[in-house]
Amino acid sequence: MNNGLITAGEKLLARAVHALEHHPKHVTAALAALMLCGGGGAFAVASLGPDPSALPVRELLENVQTLPLASQVDDLDLQSLKLFRSEVTRSTDTVEALLTRLGVDDLAAANFLRNEQNFRKVVLGRAGRTVTVEATDSHRLEKLTVRWAPDDGGRFQRLVIEQVSGQFEARVESAPLTASTRLASGSIRTSLFAAADEARIPEQIASQLADIFSSEIDFHRALRKNDRFNIVYEALEADGEPLRTGRILSAEFVNAGTTHQAMWFEEPGQKGGYYTMDGRSLRHSFLASPMEFSRVTSGFAMRFHPIMQTWRAHLGVDYGAPTGTAVRTVGDGVVEFAGVQNGFGNVVIVKHGNAAETVYAHLSRINVRGGQKVEQGQNIGAVGSTGWATGPHLHYEYRVNGIHRDPLMAARQSETTPVSAAARPAFQHLSDVMRSQLAAAATATVVSAQ
């Protein structure tokens, strides 16, 4: 019987193969129909389930016990808000005016501050100091803090006035300033200081930038529209808040398409200074200017003399500046003359070791005496209008063997000292870091001064 079934199966398989070989289209159509019918049957089975709308629905009601609210309200009453606010002092501030701007309404605090000696000394009458207060939600003073840096010693002082056991107490503390690094960039439209203001760069940093590149760039006459600069500088912080600016760590200035770079470097046992990225010192024997960056009103050329009413050779450079602006010597030397001299008015003449001498005229004040040794950058007097002067300015001359020379050109041609061979590895490592930081500063948003 089994043999018969096998024989029948073999015959059936042979017929199927024969049909597939001779009628493939018919076989394929038959299989598709069979599958479709099977699918339809599946759908028909799926639709035979119970109707959800016919299922029974039950409603359950339960009592929910709310948490006690009275204790929560009591806890909230125990909480108190603390208000924090900061203000910058004005020279005309009174205790009441300052407290009002700080949002403090506290008669006891006002009376204490009015009689507190340290507060009167470091706050009242001084503009630009930041005062921070901590007050209650009823505007009663709990704590007042003032921070300031008395000198360049790297530390700051903190006046703290706070309420202890219902009484106000005052104390003065001292702590080190913390240096943080800041990046900035700008583009020239009208002037260096306008660009710095738009880029929110401190004025002291802009002055440093001009001084660093003063022997490379004539900031009085050579700036061009669209010149740009990138700066990495220090911000000195007290308790996390910027208190004053430090020095420029590295800088880049593109003037008329030429790129100038500089970085601060200090060799062990020597005075630090600024160098180009290849190690050439930017400290020349002579500074380019006897004043921090200011406005040149008359250069080394012919001019119409405002008093003599004739065209005469102007054998120096005039710097327009307010009376009292500090004047510095451009190089090491000895004071050859300090006093009054005809049309120069109050004048200082400094003799330098290479047969050169510099002249500083129309001073309102003289801070040195004849025969005194002076160092580059030392304060020797203040701008004025003594002698033949129509307004406050500094007349500056540079002479070699009695012959007048262009002082700006003389500064550029004066000697410099490169980084020593021993310090080269450390310098190279630092210059690589500074290049990276300047590249990062260049990617910052460039702010233009219109």
Classified as helix, coil or strand, 403 is strand
Angle between helices 24-46 and 2-22 (to 10 degrees): 110
Q: Are 285 and 331 in contact (CB under 8 A)?
A: yes
Least confident of 25-39, 140-154, 231-245: 25-39
- Residue 295 has, within 13 A of its CA and on its CB side, a CA count of 8
What span, in angstroms and rounded, lies between the C-alpha atoms of 164 and 166? 5
CB 162 within 8 A of CB 132: no
Q: Exposed, middle or buried by CB within 10 Å (0-12, 13-18, 19+), for 300? A: buried
Structural domains in the chain, CATH included, are 82-176 (3.10.450.350), 179-283+432-448 (3.10.450.350), 295-413 (2.70.70.10)
- The end-to-end CA distance of the chain, in Å, is 109
The rounded distance, in Å, linking the Cα atoms of 251 and 387 is: 40
Q: Give the pLDDT band (50/70/90) at residue 447.
A: very low
Pair 258, 282: CB distance under 8 Å = no
* H or E segment to which residue 135 belongs: strand 130-136
- Classify 185 as helix, strand or coil: strand
- Output the pLDDT for position 66: 78
Distance CA 418, CA 435 (A): 19
Neighbour-count burial for 238-262, b at 16+ CB within 10 Å, e otherwise:
beeeebbbbebbbbbbbbeeeebbb
Instruction: Note the pLDDT of residue 18.
Output: 59
Q: How far apart are CA 223 and CA 217, in angstroms?
A: 8
pLDDT tens per residue, range 373-416: 999 989 999 999 999 888 899 999 999 998 888 877 777 777 67
Span of 70-79, 248-257, 323-332 with lowest mean pLDDT: 70-79
Residue 385, phi then psi, degrees to nearest 5: -140, 30
pLDDT at residue 229, as a whole number: 96
pLDDT above 50 (res 185): yes
- One DSSP character per residue, 373-401 reads EE-TT-EEEEEB--SS-SSSEEEEEEEET
Taking Cα atoms as reference points, which of 289, 370, 287, 305 lies closest to residue 343?
305
Please give the distance of CA 316 from its chain centroid, rounded to a whole number: 36
pLDDT(4) > 90: no
> What is the model's pLDDT at position 269?
83
Distances (CA, A) of 184 to 194, 204, 205, 225, 322: 14, 14, 10, 19, 29
**16-47 b/e (C-beta count within 10 Å ≥ 16 → b):** eeeeeeeeeeeeeeeeeeeeeeeeeeeeeeee
Distance from C-alpha of 168 to C-alpha of 160, rounded to nearest angstrom = 10
Q: What is the tens place of the pLDDT at every residue in 86-110?
A: 999 999 999 999 999 999 999 999 9
Q: Which residues contact 210 (CB under 8 A, 6 or more apart)?
A: 192, 219, 292, 293
**Structure confidence at residue 79 as a pLDDT band (50, 70, 90):** low
